[in-house]
């Protein structure tokens, strides 16, 4: 491809998307970076992409995705969080071979690109062997997406585990850090859920992230279990393990003290509206974060459940938070006089907010000179998009993945004229289909993807957490 590209004549979302500054402009890309955003660049020696009646916006940044689960698409559609933990984490994950991890990761990353997501973090917590890790990382690098490969330390309950001790998992992550990670993909770590491993293991995982200078991400505040709930953030703070290079996911059950601590530490939070609303985690905490001066971000979470595109997550985040705020007013017999969270808030969360959460805001998340050319050209000529009175409202409330006409990552065209350029969707779909069929056959003798839940599973899990956290700092009642 040409070293220089100009995207001509589009309606450009300039700078911080939360400001809603949309102007007709040309965007000049040179050597993978945005060189200029000007009303009319005139004749330029560059490949031309005509934007016409299109929006030009920063690529979406997904801050929580389990790409390996793409080969189980739709399996968890009607599941609760407890069923997900039993069916996927304790059951299906044991049947994954390295080639299944590769198929799911590559198909999921390509799906993300097709929908306009140019950057994501892959929370990869099915690392049953070093080969699983190699194939997950290889697929992410092959995809062409920008992102963070978060090596998961969770010990899938295998009959004959390859990793027989926690330290071996840490050593394998160090192995990948030593020359295996390059290009647009960096290494992160995905912490084991607090309580599923001994407190000392949590400390060792955080210590490794600090040693490697890697972003650490964790499922936090997912379970509403009353007084027995593990107060993860307070424990991290008390143990000296909370820091700004952390991305906490969900946080729906976090108390005010925990959210305050996250804000004070400079840590980030990812909200995944679709799974949080479905699986009983609670309302997304976006407004609670904004009230503390934090920058929310969004993720698609699991494509074993829902589609891997950000338009839906923006809409659900917006309307769920409005519903949460409105309901007490309605219950009191009154009518809300105004809305609070707006379309600009959720577009920012899906772009610059995500880049900030991944510590990549100096690289991507906005359309401005000097940033990497991670760009989306979104068609706006369809019946469902016309007329356009408010460009940001049109993008958020009317845009569809099928409107994504062109995608660039670091100036490289990943989608052109509505078609992926670096991958054949049919080939990726066939590989995912083969893995899905193999997994279904392997799991059938056990009762399928969701065998009957053991009676008292939650109580047993909480009891195990209490034992694992026996060495954790004591917290006030």
Q: Does the structure show a pLDDT above 70 at 320?
A: yes
Judge if 171 and 47 occupy the same domain.
no
Domain edge (last residue) among 329, 357, 385: 357
Quick one: which of 74, 149, 64 has its CA closest to 436?
A: 74
Q: How many domains does the chain have?
A: 2
pLDDT recorded at residue 1:
44
Sign of CA dihedral 329, 310, 386, 6: positive
Lowest mean pLDDT among 179-193, 204-218, 430-444: 179-193
pLDDT recorded at residue 226:
84
Judge if 226 and 110 occupy the same domain.
yes
Q: Does the structure show a pLDDT above 60 at 230?
A: yes
Which residue's structure tokens are 């102007």?
Answer: 23
Judge if 19 and 146 occupy the same domain.
no
Question: Residue 54 sits in a domain of what CATH number?
Answer: 2.30.40.10
- Residue 452 belongs to some domain of the structure: no
Judge if 274 and 248 occupy the same domain.
yes
Q: How far is CA 384 from CA 13, 121, 250, 399, in A?
A: 20, 31, 32, 8
Mean pLDDT estimate for the chain: 96
Judge if 284 and 229 occupy the same domain.
yes
Distance CA 469, CA 233 (A): 13
Q: Does the structure show a pLDDT above 70 at 2?
A: no
Distance CA 137, CA 377 (A): 28
pLDDT recorded at residue 118:
98
Question: Residue 253 sits in a domain of what CATH number?
Answer: 3.20.20.140
Q: Calculate mean pLDDT across residues 78-97.
A: 97
Judge if 319 and 201 occupy the same domain.
yes
Helices marked H in 213-309 — which ranges? 232-238, 256-265, 273-278, 286-291
- Residue 448 belongs to some domain of the structure: no
pLDDT recorded at residue 337:
86
Judge if 338 and 192 occupy the same domain.
yes
Helices marked H in 65-179 — which ranges? 81-84, 98-114, 130-143, 166-177
Domain edge (last residue) among 357, 386, 410: 357
Which of the four pLDDT bands, split at 50, 70 and 90, describes residue 477? confident
- Residue 25 belongs to some domain of the structure: yes
- Residue 408 belongs to some domain of the structure: yes
pLDDT in tens, 282-315: 999 999 999 999 999 999 999 999 999 999 999 9
Q: Calculate mean pLDDT across residues 23-42.
A: 96
Domain edge (last residue) among 419, 439, 456: 419
Whether pTM > 0.95 for this model: the answer is yes
- Residue 96 belongs to some domain of the structure: yes
Judge if 177 and 247 occupy the same domain.
yes
**DSSP label of 193:** P
Q: What is the DSSP string of 368-400?
A: STTSB--EEEEE--SGGG-S-S-HHHHHHHH--
pLDDT in tens, 248-293: 999 999 999 999 999 999 999 999 999 999 999 999 999 999 999 9
- Residue 120 belongs to some domain of the structure: yes
Q: Is-contact 297 353, C-beta < 8 A?
A: yes
Judge if 192 and 81 occupy the same domain.
yes
Q: Does the structure show a pLDDT above 60 at 49?
A: yes
Q: Calculate mean pLDDT across residues 100-121.
A: 98
User: 208 burial class (0-12, 13-18, 19+ CB within 10 angstroms)?
Assistant: buried
- Residue 459 belongs to some domain of the structure: no
Number of Cβ within 10 Å of residue 134's Cβ equals 18
Judge if 74 and 214 occupy the same domain.
yes
Judge if 46 and 168 occupy the same domain.
no
Judge if 194 and 288 occupy the same domain.
yes
- Residue 240 belongs to some domain of the structure: yes
The residue segments making up the domain with residue 33 are 4-59+372-419
């Amino acid at each position: 491809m040409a070293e220089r590209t100009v995207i001509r004549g589009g309606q450009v979302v300039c700078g911080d998307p939360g400001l809603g500054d949309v102007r007709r402009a040309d965007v000049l890309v040179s050597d993978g970076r945005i060189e200029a955003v000007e009303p009319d660049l005139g004749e330029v020696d560059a490949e031309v992409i005509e934007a016409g009646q299109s929006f030009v916006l920063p690529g979406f940044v997904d801050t929580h995705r389990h790409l390996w689960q793409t080969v189980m698409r739709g399996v968890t559609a009607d599941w609760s969080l407890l069923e997900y933990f039993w069916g996927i984490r304790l059951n299906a994950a044991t049947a994954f071979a390295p080639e299944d991890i590769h198929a799911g990761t590559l198909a999921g990353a390509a799906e993300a690109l097709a929908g306009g997501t140019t950057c994501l973090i892959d929370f990869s917590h099915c690392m049953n062997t070093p080969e699983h890790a190699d194939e997950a990382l290889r697929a992410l690098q092959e995809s062409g997406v920008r992102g963070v490969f978060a090596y998961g330390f969770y010990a899938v309950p295998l009959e004959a585990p390859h990793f027989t001790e926690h330290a071996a998992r840490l050593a394998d992550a160090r192995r990948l850090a030593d020359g295996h990670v390059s290009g647009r993909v960096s290494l992160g770590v995905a912490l084991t859920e607090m309580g599923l491993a001994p407190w000392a293991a949590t400390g060792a995982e955080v210590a490794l992230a600090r040693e490697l200078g890697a972003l650490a991400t964790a499922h936090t505040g997912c379970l509403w279990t009353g007084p027995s709930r593990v107060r993860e953030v307070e424990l991290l703070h008390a143990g000296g393990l909370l820091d700004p290079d952390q991305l906490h996911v969900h946080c729906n059950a976090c108390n005010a003290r925990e959210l305050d601590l996250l804000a004070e530490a400079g840590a980030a939070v990812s909200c995944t509206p679709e799974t949080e609303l479905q699986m009983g985690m609670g309302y997304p905490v976006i407004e609670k974060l904004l009230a503390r001066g934090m920058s929310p971000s969004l993720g698609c979470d699991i494509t074993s459940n829902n589609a891997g595109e950000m338009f839906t997550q923006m809409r659900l985040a917006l309307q769920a938070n409005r519903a949460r705020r409105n309901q007490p007013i309605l219950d009191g017999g009154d009518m809300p006089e105004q809305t609070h969270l707006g379309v600009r808030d959720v577009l920012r969360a899906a772009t610059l907010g995500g880049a900030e959460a991944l510590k990549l805001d100096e690289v991507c998340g906005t359309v401005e000179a000097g940033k990497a050319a991670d760009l989306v050209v979104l068609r706006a000529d369809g019946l469902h998009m016309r007329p356009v009175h408010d460009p940001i409202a049109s993008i958020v409330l009317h845009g569809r993945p099928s409107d994504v006409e062109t995608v660039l990552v670091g100036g490289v065209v990943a989608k052109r004229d509505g078609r992926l350029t670096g991958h054949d969707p049919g080939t990726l779909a066939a590989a995912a289909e083969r893995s899905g069929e193999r997994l279904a056959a392997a799991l059938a003798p056990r009762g399928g993807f969701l065998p009957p839940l053991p009676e008292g599973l939650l109580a047993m899990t909480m009891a195990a957490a209490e034992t694992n956290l026996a060495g954790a700092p004591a917290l006030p009642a």
